[in-house]
Every structure is written in C-alpha cells, then in structure tokens.
Structure 1
C-alpha cells in the first residue's frame, strides 16, 4: 500500500512538473511564432524585428552594436531596408541605406533630435529644475533671457548653447582664435624632451614611443587649453588624464547604465565635475583665458538662472564633445602613413611645403595636401563609428516602412561606410586612393563621418586642421619609423575595438598599439 502511494505521488509530481516545464516553453514558442513570423506577414509595412528569446536586445546592443546590426542586415538579405531592434523601453529603427538616411535628415517635422538631446543632458547630470529651465521659450516678460547681447533670437537655453558652440566653430575670427590656441599648444608639447609620457624605451640617439599615447595626450591637452586656457590645469593639474579616462568610458554615461555597471566612469567624472564646479564659480576676471563659447554659455546660464551644478554639466558635455574623436582619427591616419612608406613620403612633401621660416601655414596645409586629405577621409570612412539618432515624433514612412511615434531611429555610420553598393567589393579595406580617383566621394550620401541635417558636426573643419597640424609638426621635427618586432617582421596592423559601443571614431582593439622608433632631426 505504501509503495503504491509513493508511486502515485511520484507520478503526480512528474506530471505536474512536466506541465509547469512544458507549458511555458509552448507559450514561448507560440509567442515567437506570432511575433516574428505571423505578425510580420500580416503587417508588411512594419520594419522587420530581429528575433529574440529573452525580452530584448539591450545586452547585445551594448556588448557589440556592430555585430547586432550586421546580424539584422543578414536577416533582411543585406538589402539595407529599415529593420528594428527591441530594447528595454523602446524600439530602435535601424536605417542603413544612404538614400533613407538622407530622407531622415530632411524630415525635421516627424523626426526630431531634441528628445535624444534631453536624454543626453539628463545622463550628464542636469538637475530636474534645470531641465525645465533650459527648454523654456523666453517671452516678453523674460527680459533677462532675451537680451540683445546674449539671446536676440529668443531661443531656449539649450538651443542658444548649441548656437553659441556652432558660432565658435564657424570659419572666421572666432574659430581662428581657438585653432591658433590648439596649434600653439601642439607646437609647445611636441618637443623631444617632453615626450617621456609616451616613451616605452630608449635606444641609440632615439626612443621608442606609443603612438596611441602620443596622440591621446597631445590632442586632448591642446583642446583643453583652447577651451579653458590654463584655468582648469590650475584647478586640477591632472585634468587631461581625467578627460582621457572619462572619454574611454563615456558610453556608460550615454547609455545611463546603473551605478554598479558604470564604476569605471564614476571617478574621472567626479574629478572633472569637481574642477568644473570651481571654474564656473570663478569671477569672470579669473576666467580671462576661456574661449568665447565658454564665456557666452556661462553668460547665458546666468541669464536663465541655471544652477551651478548644471552649468558644470553643460561644460562637461562641451568639453567631452571637443575631445571625443580627434585623437583617435589622428592615430589611424598616422598609423597608415607609417605602414605605407610611399604614402608617408608623399605626405611629408605635401606638409613640408606648408612651412615658411619655421612657421606652419595651417590654411595652406588644409587646402594643398591631397594625399593627406585622402588618407584622412579614408580613415574617417573605415574607423568612423558614430551612431546618429532621431526620435520619431509622429508616424512617418522611411524606405517604404512605417515608423511609429515614441520610438527612435539609429543611423550607424559604420554600416553606411561599409556599404559595398556605394564603395565597391573592397569596402572593408583601407584604400586612400579611392578619394584621389573620385574627388566627389567626400560628398557621397554614404559618407557621413560628421552626421548630417541639424546635427551636422560644426567642428569638422577644426578637427581636420588639428589632425593635419599634428601630422605636419611630427614629421617636420622627428624621423619616425614603424618599430619592427624582434624577428624583424612588420607587426600586424591594429584592429578595431568592438567590445564597447562606439560614440565616434573607433579606438584600436585593447592591447593593439603602434610602436614607433623616433629620432630628433
């Protein structure tokens, strides 16, 4: 009798556990069949979604957005139609066709940037009170906000700050001032006795340096002094190191990871904010070396009564934006020069012609170096990883697909730049001559290193001049050759870092630097 009872109990338990185990699997299969097979067939105008078993693709997107997007392209037959990726709180529409990207930039009524910008400001630490103030549209009663000297167009604060930043970077006296400050700092930094920070070893009459370390520190140092003069260095002498560390992990701030997942960015962010809090509270007489844009953004902050914490946050955002890409693009350009001796000799001759009496003519340099320009553009194409975003404000059609309001559009420049229909079968190979053979390629709709539309990068001209200036100074002052391995074999060219989301020009893969033997001329 006891044996029968035990046997019955075991059978009942087995059947019950089987039901609880099998039923969820059956429900999941039915849901997946409906979501990714039946529903797309019934709604052909909706962008296809990348299928998933777990609730969303957030982890995959953060781990390697490139791989996830490439997976989506493969699922849609590589026809570059709009497809969708589900994250925790929204759907991301992925747009990779050049014509569709152009259509997105044109449709400013249905597709907006302000929503994304607001999230970015929150990520950088704007207070709730400041968020309300920065979107406030001044009226006749807001006399302080509509001063003729600060805000004659009656913009809200955030659009006014954008306008100030753009005016600083437009061709003319304001940009020349900041450009000259950058060139002056590069000129002072790139001297033989000041290169210990990037030196790995010394040899007969020379040294071996890390090219990545050289580009990172000198470019960020130059940009920092062009914006803040010596003031931030006086507040914190290690401010450049903090910005470099912050930049390495800024994606954790952009994607608003919870605190326990963004530990790498907390310390450098705190140190930068500590320095900027001191800076924004200095009397203007003690900020005399600041750039025109910094002064005017702080003046606007005062007229809108923005709190000091948020003033420091907006400067951190500007500071980071000014340092996000130049050092990486310089690294890739110089790396390709060192790996291609023929190209290097051509560029040396071009840049040498820009020197007169030991003075660099940056305008001549920018206009008369076709091989350097071709290498610069090809590096932007091959290593540009910026993701351009828009928020869908109302239902619209892009590429024959209906996009629903409340979701976001993502336009990954890497997939544009690797589009074989636009660039040929060798799209994934670096070949600077493509820009020499076809001088109009830099205007091709599949070439978007600086974004487009309302978010077309205002600093594109300055970035180019900064990189060209670094190249010209380095190869005039130093003999530089690629350091060979112990067996005399040329080391492998560095690959891209695909372990973190890209916010601009890609970093080299971890542990893949370019070592350079350098001698003073």
Structure 2
C-alpha cells in the first residue's frame, strides 16, 4: 500500500505475514520491508541471525534503547542525554571525546550487576529463587482452602504471580505504596507497543495514565528505600525495602551520573516491565498447554516429585528441577510458541551481510517467531504451529539443529539478562502447582488464543480469560 507498505499485515497478524513471506521469498536471504515511511531489514534465517547478532561495530541496540526510554517511558530529556553518554551510535556531548564518553558508559556496569546477581550458579539467583517460592506458596495457600477453588487464570497469574515475583525483586513495601500496581501494569502493557509506534497519545489515555501513576509510585518507593536503607551491607543480597541488591546497585549507578529522581524511577519501572511483561504470559501458556493435554500432567508430576519435596518443609533441588527432560521440553516448547520478540539493531554504518548492503540509519529486525515456526521444528504428526510437549525430546544432533532456531531470549548484546530468574520462577511456580493440586482448565469464552498485534514485545498474552479449578491433594 502507498506509504504504509506492509505495515498493516506486519503488525496485525505477524505469524500469517511470516508464512506468506516464506512462500514467496527464498529462505536464506535478508528481506527489505517498507513499514509506514520506514525501510527495515528482516532476517528470518537461523544462519543469518547468528551472523548479524555478532556484528557489533555497525549494528547498535543502544539507539533503540534510547527510543524506548524516550517514546514509551518518557524519561526527562536532560536526564536522557546524560543516560545515553557512551552509547553505541550516540555522539558525545560538546567538549567530551568519544574515548571519555566510552569510559563512563553505563551499559557495561548494568551488565556486570546482572551477571553478579542473576546469572546461573550465583548466590543472588539462589536466594531470590527461594524467596520467590516462599511468596508464591503463600499466595496460593491464601486463596485455596481444603475444597476445590475456581479461579480466573488472569487473576492467578497476572495478580498473584505478579505480586509474588515483584515483592521479591522490589521488596515488601512496594505493595503498600501501590496496591493497584498489578492492574495498572497490565493496562500500561496493552499500550506498550503502540507508544513505540508513535500512536497519537489521545488514543492511549489508559496506558499513559497507568504508566504515569506507576512511575509516581516508583518515585515514592525510591525515596522511602533510600531513607530506610541508604547502603547495602557487603554480604547482603536482599532486604525488605529494596528487594534484590541489584535494584540498589542500579540506583547507585544512576545517582553517580547525576540523574533526577524521576529518571531513576523511570529506569526502575523499565526493569519492572521487563520482569513482568514476559514471565507471567509464559506461565499462563505453559499451564494452558499442560491442562489441555491430560496425558501430560501425570508424567510431569512423576518427574517433578524427584526434585521438589513439599513436606515436612518445602525443599527444591534447583539443579535437578531444571534438568528434568520432559519438564524442560514442555518449557522450551511453551517458550517457542508464546514468545515473540524482535532482536533489533540500528545500522550505524553501511554494512555488508552476505553481499547485501544494510544502509546506515535503517533498522534490522530478526523476529523470534520467524525462527520458531521454521521447518526444523516440524513433525509429521505434530505441525510446527501446534504445541507438542515432547518436541525437544530428541537426540543431541537433532536438538542442536532446533536450538539454532530457538531464540526466546534474543541474542548477542541483547541476550536477556533475566533468563535464569525467569526460568527459576516458571519452573518453581508450575512445579508447586503440579504437586500440590489436582487441576483442570475451563475455557468458557472460547478457545484461548494469542492476543492479536502483540508480535515483537516479548511473551504474548492470552487473548481472553479462562478458569483454573484447583483442588488440594
């Protein structure tokens, strides 16, 4: 269409759009797309994906991050300029050399904080995972008595799971300041992609109101946390005001740069979004898939019993839990079908990719859904677009081929730093539900599907509610 190009089919039904592209285009080349006045490059081949994410000198994620904080979270302009010093593709301020700017850039500091606190085998991950399990068990015990309980799937995950996770990462007192944060969060999340796409603000009053109220709550939380616990003890991982140590470290880094309270609240709100926009939808879909396949549930129960002990005291062998073959396959298959992220880069200089020139100033997108629906996942009895819990239970050679196309956490410099935290929360939450309760799913409003138009933001929420029936064993 004139000016719009492929913008409407691309954003309306991305899966259908990719299937159409695969029919008319060769499978292993980059494509140029015209989307509403902008030319982008689309990479859908696993081989090319692996190649482009390794290009660091002329492909910048930092410019995209700047746009996210500017368009979606509206970080104050002066703060944003300070925050972006040293970013790849951002010119240094007057009077500062590029070398000086590079020395004070903050991305490396944040990456180090994530690695120290959240990565596999760290003490921080172990402590936060255990705290989450205690919070999650408390939430579900509060809502389930001795009989059978019927609970909204959205209420179970988007409220109770939201607060179990958020109370761990942001401390025990955020809920006192913002008791309606869960409901506001999902109202904002509905407008997240539209805000980035420059949709007129008057069309998104609810999302903007929810965002501004949540950021205001973040400011109040920061002021209280800074007053109550200005410094973390050197051996402390968690406390009730800050939650995880990483939250305090991030604020300390931003304070040293001279950013305002508002900017620090915006930055922490960005982390709140990253933690909750992705994990709850994946848990929702994992539950849906398991409960739609009744023969799968007893097999999973048998596996999980070897890693989780409920009595006399809850105990989890995290290493064993994360290696359970069927549970791992169900987790990977759920991510494959429910995650739709866009590995995105801004081209900072003309770049040769397999003989094709990516022009400076344009955007490169490598969508995970294009990879996740590739023929490598197809099976004669289980089509690529359908859930099959045992899809990843294959020999090592076949699994390696699959994993080259399995990119739920993006890649390169944008490889999700919260992937270990997310996995622990998902495994723990589902594992406890499987062991403690007999469960069944009811879909009274029709078969639950992916929300339309959600491609590119991460995990895709269910498009409607359903009910989970839980009966304590």
TM-score, normalized by length of structure 2?
Answer: 0.86
Residue 316 of structure 2: aligned partner: 361
Q: CA deviation at 1:493?
A: 4.7
Q: CA deviation at 1:108?
A: 1.0
Q: 2:55 aligns with which of 103, 107, 118?
A: 107
Distance (whole Å) between structure 1 residues aligned to residue 318 and residue 462 of structure 2: 30
Q: 1:450 aligns with which of 372, 391, 409?
A: 409
Residue 80 of structure 2: aligned partner: 131
Residue 252 of structure 1: aligned partner: 194
Residue 285 of structure 2: aligned partner: 332
Distance (whole Å) between structure 2 residues aligned to residue 476 and residue 385 of structure 1: 30
What RMSD over aligned residues (CA atoms) do the two structures have, in Å? 2.6
Whether the 8 Å contact between 1:181 and 1:222 is mirrored in structure 2 is no
Q: CA deviation at 1:312?
A: 0.9
Distance (whole Å) between structure 2 residues aligned to residue 175 and residue 458 of structure 1: 12
Cα distance 1:439–1:367, how it changes in 2: closer, same or farther (>3 A)? farther
The structure with the largest alpha-carbon Rg is: 1
Residue 181 of structure 1: aligned partner: 131
Q: For 1:136-188, what per-residue CA distance to the aligned partner results, in whole angstroms no more than 9, with x for missing partners? A: 359xxxxxxxxxxxxxx944134423432343211211222222222221121
Whether the 8 Å contact between 2:307 and 2:321 is mirrored in structure 1 is no
Residue 200 of structure 1: aligned partner: none
Q: CA deviation at 1:380?
A: 1.0
Residue 387 of structure 1: aligned partner: 342
Distance (whole Å) between structure 1 residues aligned to residue 252 and residue 443 of structure 2: 53
The SS at the match of 1:446 is coil
Q: 1:470 aligns with which of 425, 429, 432?
A: 429
Q: For 1:441-488, what per-residue CA distance to the aligned partner results, in whole angstroms no more than 9, with x for missing partners? A: 266221111111111112212211111111121122221123487xxx
Whether the 8 Å contact between 2:291 and 2:297 is mirrored in structure 1 is yes
Unaligned runs of 5+ in 1: 1-51, 139-152, 197-203, 486-490
1:435 matched to 2:392:
yes
Q: For 1:178-220, what per-residue CA distance to the aligned partner results, in whole angstroms no more than 9, with x for missing partners? A: 22222221121111x4259xxxxxxx94232222331222321
Q: For 1:375-404, what per-residue CA distance to the aligned partner results, in whole angstroms no more than 9, with x for missing partners? A: 110111122211110111222232442211
Residue 204 of structure 2: aligned partner: 262
1:378 matched to 2:333:
yes
Q: CA deviation at 1:56?
A: 3.8
Whether the 8 Å contact between 1:478 and 1:519 is mirrored in structure 2 is yes
Residue 319 of structure 1: aligned partner: 272
Unaligned runs of 5+ in 2: 88-101, 230-238
Whether the 8 Å contact between 2:341 and 2:455 is mirrored in structure 1 is no
TM-score, normalized by length of structure 1?
Answer: 0.78
Whether the 8 Å contact between 2:28 and 2:48 is mirrored in structure 1 is no
Q: CA deviation at 1:285?
A: 4.3
Query: How many aligned positions are there?
Result: 440
Q: CA deviation at 1:80?
A: 4.4
Distance (whole Å) between structure 2 residues aligned to residue 177 and residue 100 of structure 1: 38
Q: For 1:286-325, what per-residue CA distance to the aligned partner results, in whole angstroms no more than 9, with x for missing partners? A: 2552121110111111111101111111011011001121
